[in-house]
Amino acid sequence: MTVIMAAVSCNRINPFLTEWDTPYGIPDFEQIKEKHYVPAVEMGILQQQSEIDAIIANSEAPTFENVVVAYERSGAILDRVTMVLFNVSESDATESLQKIVEEVLPMMSEHSDNIFMNPYFFAKVEKLYKDIDNLGLNQEQKMALKKLYDAFVNNGIALGEAEQARMREINMELSSLANTFGNNLLAENNAFAEEFGLSISEYPEAMASTEDRALREKMFKAYASRGNNGNAYDNKDLIVKIMALRIEKAKLLGYETPAHMILHDKMAGTPEAVDTFLSGLMEPAVAKAKAEIADMQQIMNEDIKAGLLPEGSEIEPWDWAYYAEKVRKAKYALDEEQTKPYFQMENVRQGVFDLTTKLFGLQYEKLEDIPVYHPEVEGFKVTDADGSLIGVIMTDYFPRSTKRGGAWMTNFVNQEVNAEGKDIRPVIVNVGNFAKPSDGKPSLLSLDNVETLFHEYGHALHGLLSKCTYKSVSGTSVARDFVELPSQIMENWAFQKDVLADYARHYETGAVIPDSLVAKIEAAGTFNQGFMTTELAAASLLDLKWHMLDSVEGLDPMAFEAQACKDMGLIDEIIPRYRSTYFAHIFSGGYSAGYYSYLWAEVLDKDAFELFMQKGIYDKETAMSFRRNVLEMGGSEEPMVLYRRFRGADPDSGALLRGRGL
């Protein structure tokens, strides 16, 4: 403790070593420098290890308070530094910051193993867990104890000394390989942007609007071969190494495959259940996709007759977005160039704020002069209807070369109740890659971008509205196949006529989006869902097939992917939403054997929104029930118990097919 106290006394030098004296506990980004990360991680590890040692050394009989609560409140410094480091490294990753992450990951892996392979700590946790029903615990406390117990079991506490040593090596190597995969993909994304003059996030729109078929083919092949170019950033060997280690880890823990290991405590339960679920979606999705191809081929045939394409031309993967847009214009007279002027980023963001005011009573205040990690980040104070603080939401919506592609939500500060009984309110960030303002125009969003903004704000609500005591179960700390319910249900409101009337205003005139355009958006609501469902289900099945492997000996990753796509019935005109070499969700993120969760949770979100449609899309009673039973509860109860409390019944599996028009 002497070393720790000496370092803390020098906290002016390192801002991570004490709580931040900033508005609402926002990280002190103005004081944080790259030189602070590694020393703070080292100090945080020392601090938490000292706190764990104190739990073990306590001579009193184990209790929930002196074991579980003591653990929950340990690691304050480590929490502060890692939540900033790993979040900023995703959204503003300089080369020097990437090197810092590479240095820190082995330290973190070793520290985690030191905790969850400690037999003396486990003995106390196990004693409590075996008596869990006789300790007088509430449900949240039981879930926190179970989660702690499972962390030991899943990390191999029951293994022998040699096997534990090997598990340590596996964990360390996996963390390093996942980081390398992500760094490689960022480099490939930047190379793509440099070659074509557009970011990865702009690729879908470019494919829909580029008339030059040869250029579309070139862009498609470059996009689809990221991480598969035989260069320094090739991910093929990495994938095989990652899977070999995951297979070895699963077998060490007594599981047949990584999928069996990962899914045993999820809602789905088994890989077989996931396979059955996804395979059941592929058939109607592919059938609808084939009908969509027929519609597109008719328009392509007109281009052939006009001499724009050679005889015998057929729809290829690089033609889909372009001709789908032509079909949309022909069938629904809907052109995104007509809709974009009504979807200025700031207006859409205000729209989702206003929606949550109507549903949940939330109030928003723009925060000026707060510390931020990048000048493009904006912050908002969120309060409840009674004026009490809910938390802070930051938004970071524009692409840059230091930001990975896609969109996501993370925490800078977790919601929890501290030792003094104070409810620590969260600091949340939503990150995106929407078009930047340019040529005198503001950031104007496509329909997909609008859905994405609403989606990520659903995750933000899950974090912001959390009312838990323990950080291990607060906010989005839920089963992976439940976490997408709060995000995906928000998408259902995005294009409702009454909601659009509040936020969809022309960026130049301020005019509300006309009813005629709203009607076109509604009519096209299930347009292209054959393609969209097929590519999503295909990626989910590809993920599952990787994690159902029990060996990678002699495996060619691209040949494996091709066979998996053939076996699932994927048609040549569609590729999975993510091919293996750029499937960051499963090889450098937290969705391994879990990408199916988007579709799994869609059964829940479509079923849940049908209740809102019956009661009224702003129905206060229904909204507050969803808030109380889902958004506030985090992982403090089993997911299906929470859902049934809200819905009053099990979800109707047909809701997904109805929602997608399948």
Dihedral of CA atoms 585, 591, 594, 598 in degrees, nearest 10, equals -60
What's the pLDDT score for residue 300? 97
Computed over every residue of the chain, the mean pLDDT equals: 94
CA-closest candidate to residue 25, choices 69, 84, 70, 90: 84
pLDDT at 2 over 70: no
Q: What is the DSSP letter of 263?
A: H
* 389 vs 426: CA distance, rounded Å: 10
| pLDDT band at residue 6 using 50, 70 and 90 as cut-offs | very low
Could you tell me whether strands 427-431 and 423-424 are parallel, antiparallel, or unpaired per DSSP bridges? unpaired
- 405-452 pLDDT, tens digit per residue, is 889 999 999 999 998 999 999 999 999 999 999 988 999 999 999 999
CB 170 within 8 Å of CB 155: no
CB 289 within 8 Å of CB 324: no
Tell me the residue type at 633: M
CB 155 within 8 Å of CB 167: yes
| Token pair belonging to 598 | 């988007």
- 203-227 pLDDT, tens digit per residue, is 999 999 999 999 999 999 999 999 9
CA-closest candidate to residue 415, choices 267, 631, 627: 631
Mean pLDDT, residues 300-324: 96
* 236 vs 181: CA distance, rounded Å: 10
382 contacts: CB under 8 Å, gap ≥ 6: 362, 363, 364, 389, 390, 391, 392, 393, 464
* 444 vs 344: CA distance, rounded Å: 5
* 411 vs 461: CA distance, rounded Å: 11
570 contacts: CB under 8 Å, gap ≥ 6: 282, 286, 534, 538, 576
- 585-601 pLDDT, tens digit per residue, is 999 988 899 999 999 89
| Token pair belonging to 432 | 């995106």
Q: What is the pTM of this model?
A: 0.91
Radius of gyration (C-alpha) of the chain in whole angstroms: 25
* 204 vs 619: CA distance, rounded Å: 36
Query: Residues with catalytic annotation?
Result: 456
Buried b (16+ CB within 10 A) or exposed e, 179-218: bbbbbbbbbbbbebbeebebbbbbbebbbbebeebeebee
CA-closest candidate to residue 601, choices 566, 630, 633: 630
Q: Calculate the alpha carbon distances from 304 to 182, 321, 326 in Å.
A: 42, 18, 15
What's the pLDDT score for residue 12? 59
Strand partners, 389: 383
Q: What domains appear along the chain, each with residue ranges and CATH number?
A: 2-158 (1.10.1370.40), 178-334+530-595 (1.10.1370.10), 341-498+598-659 (1.10.1370.40)
| Token pair belonging to 526 | 């299930």
- 66-117 pLDDT, tens digit per residue, is 999 999 999 999 999 999 999 999 999 899 999 999 999 999 999 999 999 9
Tell me the residue type at 106: P
pLDDT at 131 over 90: yes
Judged on CB neighbours under 10 Å (0-12, 13-18, 19+), 261 is buried
Q: Calculate the alpha carbon distances from 323 to 208, 295, 363 in Å.
A: 7, 9, 43
* 485 vs 635: CA distance, rounded Å: 13
Q: What is the DSSP letter of 505?
A: B
| Token pair belonging to 250 | 């699963």
CB 543 within 8 Å of CB 275: no
SS3 334: coil
pLDDT at 3 over 90: no
